[in-house]
Chain A
Amino acid sequence: MSERISLGRTDNRVTVAKTYKLYIGGAFPRSESGRSYPVTDAKGGFLANAAQGSRKDARDAVVAARKAFGGWSGATAYNRGQVLYRVAEVLEGRREQFTAEVGAAEGVAAKKAQALVDAAVDRLVWYAGWTDKVAAVLGAANPVAGPYFSFSVPEPTGVVAVLAPRQSSLLGLVSVIAPVIAVGNTAVVVASQDRPLPAVTLSEVLATSDVPGGVVNVLTGRTAEIAPWLASHADVNALDLTGAPEALRADLERSAAGTVKRVLRARAAEDFTREPDLSRMRAFLESKTVWHPVGV
C-alpha cells in the first residue's frame, strides 16, 4: 500500500504528494500559524506533514460553523438525509484510497482496513436514514391537562466541538461526526492527533458531497493545544470528549462549564464496529416545547 501514500514512486514515476491542510468553512487553508507536524504510520515511518492548527484556526472554524448553522439546521430533514447519503456515495467511490490511508494510519492489514472503510460508509447510510425520523421518535404531542395544543420537537443544540477518537481514524471519526450533523448541528472537529490523514481526506469527500461549507470543519494538530480553546469558546454549544486524552478531560469539562455547554463524556473503550444507538444524536439535541391555546 505504500505506493499511494503521499510520498513515494510507482514504476518509473514520482507520485504527486498531497499537502494535508485544514478544512474550514468549505476551504482548505494551511494553519494561519504556518506550522505543520510530521505524521507517521503505525511503525514510525514518515507519511506526510499535517497542518498544526492553532487557537486562531479553531476560532475561525467556530465562526464558520456558526455561520453555517442557520442554513443547515433550517434545511429539511429530507435534504440533510440526502446530503449524508451523498457523503456515503462519494466515500464508497474512494474506498481504495481510504483503505490505504486507514491501513497506514492504524497499522492494520488491507482486509481489516477495508472492513473499517466499509463500516464507515454503512454508518453514514445509517445516520442518513435517521434525519427525518428522529423528530418522530424523540418528539411528542403532549397531552396537557388544559385547552392547549402542546408539542415537543428535538432541535439541534448549535455548534458542537468534537474531539475525534484517537485510534479509529475513519470509522470512529465518521461515527462521531455523522450523528452531530444528521440532526442539524454544525461541527468543529479535532482529528486524531497521531492519525489525522484520513480525516483530511474525509474533508475532501465532504467538500464534494453537497455538505455546505462550514457544516463540518476539521482541524489537525495537537489536541491538548486546540481543545481548551474550543471548550471555553462562548460560541460553542456542546463538546464531545470522545477523543480527549484522560489527563485533559476534567479540565475541558471545567472550561465547558463557563458557558454551560452540553458535554458528551468519553466512554471506556468504545467499539465503533457495533451498530450505534440514539445516544450520540440525543446528546446534541435540545427539546423545544411549544404551546398554543385551543378554542374557537
Chain B
Amino acid sequence: MWDYAPAPESRDIANLKPTYRMFVDGQFVEGGGEPLKTVNPGTEEVLAEVSTATTADVDKAVKAARRAYERAWGRMPGSERAKYIFRIARLVQERARELAVLESLDNGKPIRESRDVDIPTAAAHFFYHAGWADKLGYAGYGPDPKPLGVAGQVIPWNFPLLMAAWKIAPALACGNTVVLKPAETTPLTALVLAEIIQQADLPPGVVNILPGAGDVGAALVSHDDVDKVAFTGSTEVGKVIQRQLAGTGRRLTLELGGKAANIVFDDAPLDQAVEGIVNGIFFNQGHVCCAGSRLLVQESVAEELLEKLRARVSTLRVGDPLDKNTDVGAINSREQLAKIEELTASGEAEGAERWTSSCALPDKGFYFAPTVFSNVSQAMRIAREEIFGPVLSVLTFRTPDEAVAKANNTPYGLSAGIWTEKGSRILWAAQKMRAGVVWANTFNRFDPTAPFGGYQESGFGREGGRTGLEAYLDV
C-alpha cells in the first residue's frame, strides 16, 4: 500500500466564529433555549456555541414567515423572486470553499465530498429552482399555480447545507416562505446560508432558521400556522409527524430512510461495479438514506467480487475529514457511532461473517472502519434495518427473479442499483425495482433536475425536477 503525506485543508477558511445565533425575520437573534455546543466529530473538540429556539421562538419565526408571505414574497412577481434566488446561488458559489471547510468541520465528512458534491450541488439547486419561479405556469399544474404559504422544514445532519438547499430552493421558487430547523449536530452551514440570504437582501422573514433539537422540530411541524411540512430524516420520526398532521389538512412531504439493494449480475464489469459498490456504501461514511447498503451478488461471481471488494476497501483512507486524501471521514456523532456498533454486533451475533478493514483510525474523534458482512440472510437485522454507517451487508442470488424479489423485500423503497452489461436487463430490473431512484452502472448521483424520493416507507413526495414543485404548490 502507498503512503500519503497529509494534505490538510486549512480550517481558517471556515471563518469559524465562537458563537452562532438563530436567524429570524431577517436578523440574527439570541434564542430563548439553552445554547448547544456543536462538536467537530473528527476531533471531538467543541467548534462553537449555537443559540437554540424555544416554542416561543418558533412562534415568532412562523409569524415572521407569515408576514413575509403576505406582504412581500407571496405577492412578488415570479421574475423578481427568481433574481433573489439566483443571487443566493451565486453567493453560495462565491463562498463555496468556506462552506465546504465549515461543513467538513461540523459534519465530519471528507473535504473532497463537501467540496465536490455538497456545496456545488447546493448552489445548483438554488440556480435550478430560481429559473422556475417565473415559469410555474409551464410546470403542468395549471396556468397559475399558487404557493401554499408558510413551509416548516426539518432536515438531517448527513448533508446539512445540501438538504437546506433542497428544502429552501423549491419552496422559495414557488412563492412560499420558510422556517427551517437544521439538525442539532450540524447547524453551522445553515446559519452561514442565513448570512448569505441576508447578503442577498431577501425581504425579512422569507427564510428563518432555528437551530435546536427534536423538540424545536416538533414545535415547528405541529405549529397551527404552518401550511406545509417537509421532513427529511428517519422513518420513525416521519411516521410520528404524519400522525401529528392527521386531520389538520396541512400538506406534508417526507423523505425517510432506506435499505437499498445494489444488484450485481454475473455479466457486470466487476472492477467498475466494485467502484460503484464502494461509492454506494462508503460515500459520506454511509450516512446516506439512499446508500447501497444491501449488496446482492449473483452467486457465480460472488467470491470473485468479494475478493476484489475487500482489496479495494482495504485501500480506503479513514481519518481527518479536512485531509484532501481522506476517503472516509468521521461518524457524525457519538450517538450514531454507538448505533452502528450496536447493529454490527447484532450482525455478528446473528451469524453473519464480518470483515473489517485493518486501516488505522485516529485516536480522537468518532470513526468506524469500513466493514463488509457476508453470509447475510434476509432475516438478519443488518439486512433489514438502516445502519446509516460504513457497513455493507452482502447477500447472494441465483436468478434475476430472485434478485428482484430480494431487492424488493423491504418496507423501504428509496433507491436501488443495478450492475450488468446487458441493456435489456438494466431496463427490466429498473422497471421491477420498487424504488424512487434507480442507478444503473453508477450509484449515488444527484442533480436538481432529477426527482428524488421514495416509495413505501421511504416517504412520499419528490425533491427536484418539475415533479418536485408539486410539494410547494397548492395543486
Mark A residues whose CB is within 8 Å of B.
Answer: 137-138, 140, 142-146, 148, 150, 152, 157-158, 234, 237, 249-254, 256-260, 262, 265, 277-279, 282, 286-293
Contact = CB atoms under 8 A, between A and B. Distances in A.
Contacts, number: 118
* Leading 4 A-B pairs by shortest Cβ distance: A250-B247, A253-B246, A257-B242, A144-B447
Interface stretch (B88-96, B303-311, B429-437): B429-437
A138 B465 CA distance: 11
Interface residues of B, number: 47
A257 B246 contact: yes
Interface in B389-422: 411
Contacts of A144: 445, 447, 449-450
A292 B437 contact: no
Nearest to B459: A260
A89 to B, nearest CB: 30
Contacts of A158: 434, 456
Interface string B121-160: 0001000000000000000101000000000000000000
B246 A291 contact: no
Contacts of B465: 140, 142, 152, 287, 289
Given A148-B442, A291-B445, A262 B460 contact: yes
B460 A288 contact: no
Contacts of B140: 137-138, 278
A256 B247 CA distance: 12
Contacts of B430: 288, 290
Contacts of A152: 450-451, 465, 467
| Chain A interface, >50% SS class | mixed
Contacts of B441: 292-293
B462 interface: yes
A253 B441 CA distance: 39
Given A260-B242, A260-B456, A282-B470, 9 more contacts: A145-B447, A145-B449, A152-B467, A234-B411, A237-B456, A259-B411, A286-B436, A287-B462, A290-B437
Contacts of A259: 411, 456-457
A142 B470 CA distance: 17
A138 B459 CA distance: 19
Given A152-B451, A157-B455, A290-B430, A260 B254 contact: yes
A249 B247 contact: yes
B449 A287 contact: no
B205 interface: no
B440 interface: yes
Contacts of A253: 242-243, 245-247
A17 to B, nearest CB: 42
